[in-house]
Chains A and B, each alone.
Chain A
Amino acid sequence: MDNNAIHLHVKQWYAWAPGIEGAGQWRQWAEGSLMPDFEDVPALPFIKPMLRRRLSQLSKMAVKVAFECLNKENDDFNADRTVFCSRHGELTRTVGLLETLASGNELSPTGFSLSVHNAASGLYSIARADTAPSVSIAAGRDTLIEGVREAATLLTEDGIHTVLVVVADEPLPSYLSEYADEEQRSFALALLLSKADINANCSFRALYDREKGIERQEPQSLEFIRFTLSGVSSAVMPGARCDWLWQKDV
C-alpha cells in the first residue's frame, strides 16, 4: 500500500448523463464515443410527483444517482453519511433569479429557497427519509477529489462504515461560459464508499510535479468513470493546483 495515498473501497457506483445510463452505455462512452449532446431528464419513479416538481435538472441528476447507487445494495439501504458535491451548484437557478431581479420582478419563493448549494442534499434526504448527517462541497476543479477526501476522513471514525459521495454539475450558464476552464458537461456520479483498511480497491495521491501533456480537461468525475471502466492500473487526473495519480489496488 502507498502510504502517501488515500485508499478507498468503492462498494458501488452509478452515473448518469444525458443519453448515457447503465454500465453498458458508459463503457461505450469510455471506449471513445463522444458524449451525446442533447437534453434529457433523468427518470425518478421513486419520488412522489409533489416533491419531484421541486427538483431542478441538477437536483434531479444528483438524487437520481444517489437512489440508484444505494438501491444496488437494497431499496432500504442508507449510508452512514452523505457528501454532496458540485462545482457550480444551482447556478442555473441563481442566474434565473438574477434575471428576474434585473427585470424588476419579484423572486419566485420556490426558486429562491432551492437555489442554495445544499438543495440536492436536502431534497434527497426528504425523498429517501434519510436523517444521516450530510456535507455539501464545492471545490472548483477538485470537487470530486475533495468529496472523496471528505468521505475518506469521515470513514476513519469508528461508527461510520459507509459514506455516499454524489457529484453533479451542469454546463455554466451562457453569461459565464467565458470563465469555463474545463469541458462543460452535464453529469452526475454517486460512489458508495466503505472502510478501506482491508479491502481498498483504489487510491489517489497528489503529484506535485505536474505531468506535461495532459490534454483532456474533462471534469474529474468523468475522468474517474473512464479510469474505473478502463483496463489500466493507474491514471493521472488534472486538478486545481496539482495533478492526481489514481491507482487500482490489487
Chain B
Amino acid sequence: MADLAAEIKQLIIEALDLEDMTVEDINSDEPLFGEGLGLDSIDALELGLALKNKYQITIDAESEDTKKHFASVSALVAFISENSEG
C-alpha cells in the first residue's frame, strides 16, 4: 500500500507538472483539491486521464463517489486497489 501511495504521488507530480515538489511533500491524508495540495478542476481531469492510462480504471465523471475517490492520495489508493485490473 505504501508503494502504491508513493507511485500515485509520483504520478500526480509528473502528470500535473508540479515541478518543485517531491513525493515527500504530499501528505497521503491531506485534501488534493482546494485546500491541501491546492489542485483545481482541470487537474482533476488530467489526473483522471493519467490514472486511467496507468491502472486501466474507469472513472465516472457524473458519479458522486468519484469526488470521494479523488479526496486524497489514501482514497485513491483504496479505489485503485479495489478496481485495478493489473
Q: Which residue of B lies closest to A114 (CB)?
A: B42
Nearest CB in chain A: distance from B65 CB, A: 21
Q: Could you say which residues of chain A place their CB within 8 Å of the CB of B38?
A: 50
Q: Are A53 and B16 in contact (CB under 8 A)?
A: yes
Bound complex: CA A105 to CA B18 (Å): 22
Task: Please list the residues of chain A having a beta carbon within 8 angstroms of any beta carbon in chain B.
Answer: 49-50, 52-54, 105-106, 108-110, 113
Bound form: Cα–Cα A109–B50 in Å: 11
Q: A52-B19, A106-B49, A113-B42 are in contact. List 11 more A-B contacts (CB 8 A).
A: A49-B18, A53-B16, A53-B17, A53-B18, A53-B19, A54-B17, A106-B52, A106-B53, A109-B42, A110-B16, A110-B42
The reply to whether the CB of B78 lies closer than 8 angstroms to some CB of chain A is: no
A109 to B19, CA, bound (A): 18
Bound-state Cα–Cα, A123 to B18, Å: 17
Supply 14 A–B pairs (Cβ within 8 Å), ascending by A: A49-B18, A49-B20, A50-B38, A53-B17, A53-B19, A106-B49, A106-B52, A106-B53, A108-B46, A109-B42, A109-B46, A109-B49, A110-B16, A110-B45
* Inter-chain contacts of A105 with B (CB < 8 A): 53
In angstroms, how far is the closest chain A Cβ from the Cβ of B85? Answer: 18
Q: Which residues of A contact B17 (CB under 8 A)?
A: 53-54
- Which residues does chain A contribute within 8 Å of B18, judged by CB atoms? 49, 53
In the assembled complex, which residues on chain B have CB atoms less than 8 Å from the CB atom of A110?
Answer: 16, 42-43, 45-46
Number of A-B contacts (CB under 8 A): 26
Q: Nearest Cβ in chain B — how far from A230, in angstroms?
A: 39
Which residues of B have CB within 8 Å of A54? 17
**Contact across chains for A49 and B19 when beta carbons are under 8 A apart:** yes
A49–B52 alpha-carbon span in the complex (Å): 26
CA A54 to CA B42, docked complex, whole Å: 11
Task: Chain B residues near A53: list those with CB within 8 A.
Answer: 16-19
Nearest opposing residue in chain B for A111, CB measure:
B46
A residues within 8 A CB of B19? 49, 52-53
Give A49 to B17 CA distance when docked, in angstroms.
10
Task: For the complex, give the distance between the alpha carbons of A209 and B81 in Å.
Answer: 72
Q: How far is the CA of A109 from the CA of B46 in the complex (A)?
A: 6
Residues of A within 8 A of B45 (CB): 109-110
Instruction: Give the residues in chain A near B43, CB-CB below 8 Å.
Output: 110
Complex interface: chain B residues within 8 A of A108 (CB): 46, 49
Beta-carbon nearest neighbor of B19 in chain A: A53
Alpha-carbon distance between A38 and B17 when the two chains are bound, in angstroms: 23
In the bound complex, residues from chain A placing their C-beta under 8 Å from that of B52 are 106
A109 to B49, CA, bound (A): 9
Closest Cβ–Cβ distance, residue B60 to chain A (whole Å): 16
| Chain A, residue nearest B44 (CB) | A109
A66 to B52, CA, bound (A): 38
Cα distance A106–B52 in the bound complex, in angstroms? 10
Q: B66: shortest Cβ distance to chain A, in Å? A: 15
CA distance A108 to B14 in the complex (A): 13
Residues of B within 8 A of A109 (CB): 42, 45-46, 49
* Minimum C-beta distance from A164 to chain B (A): 27
